Amino acid sequence: MTNKAKINTIETAAKIVFTLCAVLAVFAVCSITIYMVAKGTPAFANVGVSELLFGTLWKPTASNASYGILYIILSSIVGTGASVLIGVPVGLFTAVFLTEISNKKLAAVVQPAVELLAAIPSVIYGLLGLMLLNPVMFKLEKLIFAGSKTHQFTGGSNMLSAVVVLAIMILPTVVNVSASSIRSVSKDLRAASLALGASKIQTIFKVTIPAAKSGIMTGSVLGIGRALGEAMAINMVAGGSVNLPLPFNSVRFLTTQLVSEMGYAEGTHRQVLFSVGLVLYLFIMIINLLLQKLRKGATENE
């Protein structure tokens, strides 16, 4: 075999390997989508779309079974929304601190700490929530609902615990993405703003953050995705009863619904759990499409 022929063979082989890998990824996405739709839709036919999506009673094993998942969907939306409302401002301000305010030495400590936060497995967050947060919540619950006849005491496993844990979990994503987009804002913009007499804080809020807007949005959407898809940590701190998503109610999210009931479910109950999976999948897809649109917008701006 000549040298040239050898190179040619390697080239073709590499091409084939790369193509196969790409096909694998596409195949995985397609087959997951097809599977989820195929498995998730029968329950809609069996139970009825409105009864399933807008029913508030979840009694899958009762003799007169009821499969309403509205409270579960609402819990996921409210829980994710609230954690983003807390996590994004805190994350953004941390990013501003890291890039604009702190001196280099301090940033060199804080930055890796935040990055490390991203590497901690979610079960650890859940464990800490269970051991530290829930007892505090229980004390708070007893204080607020002292003497209440109507409140069901949950022992501190409630929506608020889930929100706090989720907010901490999305911090690193928001901080890292926001910080890198703030860093990429041109120095000239800041200099111009300062030269016009704006203060440092004015410059940050009126110039730097607006200029880094698309990156910050991307970070927030990534955070939403992470919060929406989280199961383990929530399962450990949220109590797991299907209730209206009020702060001190024990709640169940779309993800934890799957985690906790898939084991022994059968028949229609099982089918409905696949529908819950499909709803979750659709939510995540919407978040991702939003993300792609944001990224596209960002590149067009540049």
**Site membership for another protein, residue 293 (CB under 8 A):** no
| CB of 271 vs another protein, minimal distance in Å | 13
**Site membership for another protein, residue 241 (CB under 8 A):** yes
| CB of 295 vs another protein, minimal distance in Å | 37
Q: Of 64-83, which residues contact another protein (CB under 8 A)? A: 64
DSSP codes joined into one string, the chain: --HHHHHHHHHHHHHHHHHHHHHHHHHHHHHHHHHHHHHHSHHHHHH-HHHHHH---EETTSTT-EE--HHHHHHHHHHHHHHHHHHHHHHHHHHHIIIIIS-HHHHHHHHHHHHHHHHS-HHHHHHHIIIIIHHHHHHHHHHHTTT-SSPPP-TT-SHHHHHHHHHHHHHHHHHHHHHHHHHTS-HHHHHHHHHTT--HHHHIIIIIHHHTHHHHHHHHHHHHHHHHH--HHHHHHSB-------TTS-B--HHHHHHHHTTT--THHHHHHHHHHHHHHHHHHHHHHHHHHHHHHHHHH-
Out of 40, 87, 229, 239, name the contact with another protein by CB under 8 A.
239
**Site membership for another protein, residue 59 (CB under 8 A):** yes
User: Per-residue x/- mask for another protein, residues 144 to 173, rule CB under 8 A?
Assistant: -x---x--xxxxxx----------------
Q: How many residues bind another protein (CB under 8 A)?
A: 34
Nearest to another protein of 69, 222 (CB atom): 69
User: Per-residue x/- mask for another protein, residues 178 to 217, rule CB under 8 A?
Assistant: ----------------------------------------
Out of 26, 62, 143, 195, name the contact with another protein by CB under 8 A.
62
Residue recorded with tokens 């499969």 = 67
Sign of CA dihedral 283, 285, 286, 290: positive
Q: Of 249-278, which residues contact another protein (CB under 8 A)? A: 250, 252, 259-261, 263-266, 269
CB 254 within 8 A of CB 72: yes
| CB of 152 vs another protein, minimal distance in Å | 5
Nearest to another protein of 188, 266 (CB atom): 266
Nearest to another protein of 223, 239 (CB atom): 239
CA of residue 86 relative to chain centroid, distance: 13
Out of 36, 47, 58, 98, name the contact with another protein by CB under 8 A.
58
> 59 pairs with which residues across the strands?
66
Q: Of 5-24, which residues contact another protein (CB under 8 A)? A: none
Out of 142, 200, 293, 296, name the contact with another protein by CB under 8 A.
142
| CB of 135 vs another protein, minimal distance in Å | 8
**List of residues contacting another protein (CB under 8 A):** 58-64, 134-135, 138, 142, 145, 149, 152-157, 235, 239-242, 250, 252, 259-261, 263-266, 269
